[in-house]
Amino acid sequence: MPFDEKVALVTGAAKGIGAGIAARFVEAGAAVVIFDVDGEGARTIAGRLCAGGRALAIVGDVASEEDVRRAVERTVAEFGSLDVLVNNAGIEVAGAIPDYTSEQWDRQLGVNLKGAFLFAKYAIPRMRGRGGAIVNISSVHSFVSYPGNAAYDASKAGMVALTRTLALDHGGDGIRVNAICPGYIDTPLMEEWLATVADREETMRQVLAAHPLGRIGTPRDIAEAALFLASDAASFISGTALVVDGAMTVAGH
């Protein structure tokens, strides 16, 4: 799946799944923009990837329309086009609905859902007429819910709905839009969660037992799925949500 002369922009790419996706696209030959609010992390990843290809760090907030507009404009100015957009940036604010503040709710949906809307808004005009692919990183939380995750679940389910509508609206422009719904993935975000549990070893035993494949996922697992959906090998796939969770959800977890 060669991506020579293709340009991909990956949000939330300073670590975890986003960094894994950025690295995989560079391996495939693409120029990659690492967009993240964490400037130091974004520049570190870009510097590491520059050894294997073209990479550029852009610092900004996905919930800021001005930051998003400037990122898309700079991408095109630097590399000449924008062919693939991966909306990966996301945060998780846990808590019961009565305990949420309006600010927490707005920030959760601002990063996870509004960010995908804003990048699509500014990327699609750059893709229209020449084709392109958008991959939205959603979650198994789009289909199953867990206590204390109302805002996160709502944002991720909304991303799948957004994916479907974008696919309908812009298929005529030659733009394909798909979502990936990861399950448990070995990332810094998961490590932060494990640090809050009373018994890490028992928690991980339960997590692994919930996966018929016997392991949790890696950023590389999601990166391979993103690369496939963005590639010509998936030229007739649009408007779908691909679950990448080691069969956890079909096992009833």
- Residue 183 CA to residue 196 CA, distance in Å, equals 19
**Which of the residues are catalytic?**
152
Q: Which residue has the tokens 């696919």?
A: 167
- Residue 130 CA to residue 101 CA, distance in Å, equals 43
Pair of tokens at residue 24? 């995989």
Q: Which residue has the tokens 């979650």?
A: 139
Helix (H, G, I), strand (E, B) or coil at 87: strand
Whether residue 84 contacts residue 133, with contact meaning beta carbons closer than 8 Å, is answered with: yes
Q: Cα dist. 233→83, 96, 194, 236, 243 in Å?
A: 15, 42, 37, 8, 18
- Residue 189 CA to residue 174 CA, distance in Å, equals 35
Pair of tokens at residue 203? 């928690």
Whether residue 56 contacts residue 34, with contact meaning beta carbons closer than 8 Å, is answered with: yes
Give, for 34, the enclosing helix (H) or strand (E).
strand 31-36
Helix (H, G, I), strand (E, B) or coil at 9: strand
